Structure 1
Amino acid sequence: MNGLLILDKPAGMTSHDVVNRVRRATGEASTGHLGTLDPMATGVLPLLLGRYTRLAQFFGAMEKSYTGTIRFGYSTDTYDAEGAPTSSVVPAALSLEAVRAAAREFSGEMLQTPPAFSAKKVGGTPSYKLARAGNAKPLKPVRIFIHEFTIANCSGDLAEFAIRVSAGGYVRSVAHELGQRLGCGSHLASLRRTAAGRFTLKDALTLDQLAELAQDSNLEAWLPHPRSLLPDLPSVTADLVTAGRLRNGVAVNLPDFSAAPLVKVFSNQRNLVAIGKRIAGTLFQPMVVVG
């Protein structure tokens, strides 16, 4: 089975756990996700199935949107509710105006330090492995862009928020740093990803829905049409001879005059053969062969 699958990830599972569930449900061993979600988080998790896993590089870095809650009063080592407290618990009854004023400082381009409990590599080792062993190393700040960060409500020690952030941004770090700005500890209490790039919750299946569709052999018909994937790349249709040459790694002429550097090459309406790279004019070489 080849295609793109958008899942609504449940809480309490790692992204790798979800991949394993999809493999069992679909029988497709070649399955991979396009960016992890923390075990605590729920929501949009895009996955590629079968030979479409070869397309991962073309999806690029995706902007993400989330909703969630931040708890004030103490910080944790993971910057979320699953971590161990790193500060004393203090009463934190903040006003909505005070929280919104502090949140306005998290806007536009900024440097952000990733959490120690993250997949960032330190000398080739994931930072979270070093942190779990009590040997956490300082991580270098990375440049991110926060397009939107709004506080919808604040009651007691909890604030509800919505955020839209560039690839590489950690909502946990935003939650942690917001508490620092307000003079109290804080951490991420809950998180739901509502969109990853063009993919939203409207496109997503639950694991139960996936299992039901897979059992009834209806899953493939539910997946997005292959020509709708990577919409920034033009689609061209090749005849059987040309498609065969592409599969063998041979450069071919294709009926495309868009001047785009990359094109999706189909042998019919649904069968994606390859991603072709323009050499000159209408001459393309296969960059990735899919089918």
Structure 2
Amino acid sequence: MNGILLVNKEAGYTSRDVVNIVSKIIKNKTVGHTGTLDPIATGVLVLCIGDATKLVELITAFDKEYIAEIILGTKTDTLDTTGKILKEVEVSLLDEDIIKAVLSMKGKYEQEVPIYSAVKVNGKKLYEYARNDEQVKLPKRTVEIKNIELVSPIKRENGKIIFEIKCTVTKGTYIRSLINDIAEKLNTVACMKNLKRTKQGKYFIENTYSLEEIENSKYKLIDIPTALNDKLTIKVNKELEQCIKNGKILDNIYLEDEVLFINEQNHVLALYKKYEKDETKIKPWKMFKQK
């Protein structure tokens, strides 16, 4: 079994939980996910199965779209409602100031990685520092908020302000941190109440399957050629097929950064990419098993 499976992750599961459950259901140990969702989060989790695990790197790099519910006035150690409350304040802000702060986040900026994350510093995961009450300098990374908007009315409850945003972000962006940064612009504190990933690259939540549907075999895999249908695809003869199977570097007569080669039987052979040492050449990047 080879292909991509779009899962609608439920709250309470880790991404690894979902991988393990699906692996057991389909009786295939070669399963990988393409972007961690925290247990609190729901929505699109793209799984690569069998030979399609070679696409994990490509799919992980896709932009992701989220809908997040924000509580202004509460700060926790995890930056979401699963954590320990560190601070609570009454919030009195005008709607237009909230909207302005949210919209101002569009673009690139240096985002601090949250302490409760699996990012490693000196070979140790950040959440391990947090659990051991150890001090550590949190790394920053450049992220891009490609689009951001409010998608709900702004509600006021018991001194707190609650609303939802929708955003499209690049790989490595933490929505919890984005929410914290919005709060800082408003000179207050905040945490994330809910998070749903609604899209990853070309994969939409409308096309996902629940774990129950997968368990009942009510799902369809996306095959590797379909997953790569945005790449220039070249059908080759048997002579060139053998060169590709041998991993030969080829002339880049196609003038593309990435080229997918298939054989005369329409079986995927390899995905080539531009050779860094000589841009007139392309080299093997992802080689696929032959039937």
- Tell me if both proteins adopt one fold, taking TM over 0.5 as the criterion: yes
Structure 1 residues 6 and 270, CA gap change in structure 2 (3 angstroms) = farther
- Work out whether 1:28 is the aligned partner of 2:28: yes
Structure 1 residues 53 and 180, CA gap change in structure 2 (3 angstroms) = same
What secondary structure does 1:100 align onto?
A: helix
Aligned to 1:259: 255
> Aligned letter for 1:188?
M
Q: Could you give the per-residue CA deviations for residues 132-166 of structure 1, whole angstroms, max 9, x where no partner exists?
A: 22114121222111122222321013111111112
Q: Could you give the per-residue CA deviations for residues 17-36 of structure 1, whole angstroms, max 9, x where no partner exists?
A: 01001101111111101111
Q: Percent identical across equivalent pairs? A: 28
Aligned to 1:236: 234
- Work out whether 1:141 is the aligned partner of 2:140: yes
Preserved CA contact (<8 Å) 1:246 1:285: no
How far apart, in 2, do the equivalents of 1:235 and 1:132 lie? 49
What secondary structure does 1:35 align onto?
A: coil
Q: 1:63-74 residue pairs with structure 2 within 5 A?
A: 63-74=63-74
Q: Could you tell me which runs of 5 or more consecutive residues in structure 2 were left unpaired when the two chains were aligned.
A: none
Structure 1 residues 158 and 260, CA gap change in structure 2 (3 angstroms) = same
Preserved CA contact (<8 Å) 1:58 1:230: no
Q: 1:1-291 residue pairs with structure 2 within 5 A?
A: 1-59=1-59, 61-87=61-87, 89-92=88-91, 94-152=93-151, 153-156=153-156, 157-213=161-217, 219=219, 222-239=220-237, 242-244=240-242, 246-247=244-245, 249-251=246-248, 257-267=253-263, 271-277=267-273, 286-291=284-289
Moved over 4 A (4+): 239-242, 277-285
Aligned-pair RMSD on alpha carbons? 2.6
Q: Please report how far the alpha carbon of residue 114 of structure 1 lies from its aligned counterpart in structure 2 after TM superposition.
A: 1.3
What secondary structure does 2:47 align onto?
A: strand
How far apart, in 2, do the equivalents of 1:77 and 1:145 lie? 24
How far apart, in 1, do the equivalents of 2:86 and 2:26 lie? 43
How far apart, in 2, do the equivalents of 1:241 and 1:86 lie? 66
Residue correspondences, number: 282
TM-score with structure 1 setting the length: 0.86
